[in-house]
Structure 1
Amino acid sequence: MMEEHEAMHGGELAIPQVGDRLTGKVVKIEDKQALVDVGYKYEAILPISEVSALHIDRIDDVLSVGDEIRVQVKKVNDEKEELVVSKRMVDAEEAWARLAGYRDRGEAFEVKVHDIVKGGLVADVGLRGFIPASQVSTSFVEDFSDYKGKTLKVKVLELDREQNRVILSHRAVLEEEAEAKKAEVLSRLRPGDVVEGRVARFADFGAFIDLGGVDGLVHISEVSWEHVEHPSEKLKIGDVVKVKVLKVDPESERVSLSIKQAEASPWERAKDEIRVGEIREGIVRRLASFGAFVELMPGVEGLVHISQLARRRVATPSEVVSPGQKVRVKVLAFSPEEKRVSLSIREAEEAEPAPRPEPAAKEEDKSGFGVTIGDLLGDRLPDAWK
């Protein structure tokens, strides 16, 4: 290093000048300064305040003996053998040029979070880089303590050399990555696909399912084969569910999904459970002018025609049944392919014998012989006593 310095000055041991930039090697680290061999006749002093653009408590948190560094001369006093240099000034100059390049190219780069301050995070980029709280994440962050010492990918939002201001954003990187992931998922999904997703959030009209980069909507009518008033009746936030892709619109970034269609149809299951001629219990779900629809099992409803509601003539179904009422019905016809079941309440009642009335309790025989006064007197008992 001594030879290199002499060569730069025509073979003479020239005195470094303020503003000169030198390359040196750290030879000693003390509490408040480091000594750097810059190829001069005595070692340069690097104060702790000139090591970094950020506050540091110890030099050895940043430098080690043997490190080769670039420094700029701040002060020279050859009589006192005093040569003061700054690593911070060189780093700052290089950082402005490097950050301008990142900004112009729209390029993301990694930084290490040095400290947490009011309003955001501080990162060392050769300068003091600030990440505002609003630019840390795509969602609200209440406690930033976990970010200290963490490496984040960021983009440059603002550079102002006059104000010495460097504003960075981690959120911009996350949003860019999310958009890329969304485009990839949308290009891969096809109607008819059955995929897994996670329940992300609810709305009155359905549930949004995270498919790993894009949210798809399961309309409330597609949540279950059973009737539901709100998706939370069948789902919980965080549930992993299988869904069938019904429609994909890449331009609007909308995906329509179905949970119930990813399962076996209740009509398929009903093939093994419902038999013509059997009597089953069901629940009246809705009424029409021509009859009542009775649910036999989740997702399977059959029609009780108005003529099959009762043994008597019925003008309107509401005379006999009401929604939510449990009824016994006989299966008259069943076609799972056409999703049709014909039912009869009247024939179910006719098929089941009327309950026999309980015999009247006899007067207890106080004598212990088991014979009543009526048994003894028979027809001779006065009418008033019968």
Structure 2
Amino acid sequence: MQIFTATLGTFSSLPFLPHLSAGDASCIPPIFSPLVNPTNFSKYTPKFPTNKLSYYTAKVSVSGNANTETSVSGVLENSSDSLSPEAIRQARRSADWEAAKASSDSGLIYDVRVEGFNGGGLLVRFHSLVGFLPFPQLSPLHSCKEPNKYIQDIAKGLVGSLVPVKVIQADEDKRKLIFSEKEAAWSRFSEQVNVGDIFEGRVGSVEDYGAFVHLCFPDGLYHLTGLVHVSEVSWDLVQDVRDVLLEGDQVRVKVISIDREKSRITLSIKQLEEDPLLETLDKVIPKDGSVPSDSFNSSTSNKIEPLPGLETILQELLQEDGIDDARISRQGFEKRVVSQDLQLWLSNAPPTNQRFTLLARAGRQVQEIHLITSLDQGGIKRALQRVLERVP
């Protein structure tokens, strides 16, 4: 992707002010100064030379897959009469609006200079126009580099610098020119991300539905952001993401899906941890002598009272295709209480002769469950997950 630079060089503060008045107030709020009344820019008219002007051209090169190049030009023809400063400004702005529209359609990346900021974002220079870069459209690069700074302080430090952006809205009628640094970062760095990749990340914000995590790239900088859905935070049931993750936390995440059309990355934390449903029975009831030899007894299932909630789960398992029988075979007691909640595990061993083992535990009590099934290990796991979703 070719990167273009759009700057006008240096200019005084007074000519800058009339360009602000051309913008929509909802899009480009003015910079307030004690020396200037921001609601009246008309008297601050820049001085232009009165000699004849041959032409003015604003050209934008668009590089695409076909290596084609298009240009948008606004030309003022030679005239026997001198052009007024206002006519020059209008022609210049009109040509630059065309350039902005062409950039929006083609997905160009521009380096724009930050002119100032307000409560909502940065004011940036695009040729003779001033556009708006909202704070939510900034790359995570800035906040992760200075995590202890408020966004206004970060913005103040960006004034005068060049920022790579894409035009995401160019509406001349409404005077809205909106830029995104996030979209530019996506174009530059998303090809380096693949499903299955593991990143070090920093939690940026936490919502009810999940946490947004900024991804650290090999250069040590944070360029892209992905979402860890609440269901991918932990193998345990998470009621409130904020109980597990807080803004600024350092985490390791795995990329589990990428939507390149919508510029979205989906991440998982729990998939970097061992699935507790695949714990071996030996991890729960070790065979190294640490558990008394009578920790399991040979009582038949009709003499064993199922753990609270287990009987409903067994009944639901029998409704699953491929599971012919599910019953408690024996029970035992651990030395200590791990959790009072009912927990279930699958054996790591595959089914043998259509027999498979589950383990249920609550408090110190452990019950072993035998399944008669034609399913493989993966099918049993999916069946159990469906059952757990149905059982309150």
Shared fold (TM-score greater than 0.5)? no
TM-score of the superposed pair, with normalisation by structure 1: 0.40
User: More strand per residue: 1 or 2?
Assistant: 1
Bigger RCO (CA 8 Å, 6+ sep): 2
The structure whose Rg is larger is 1
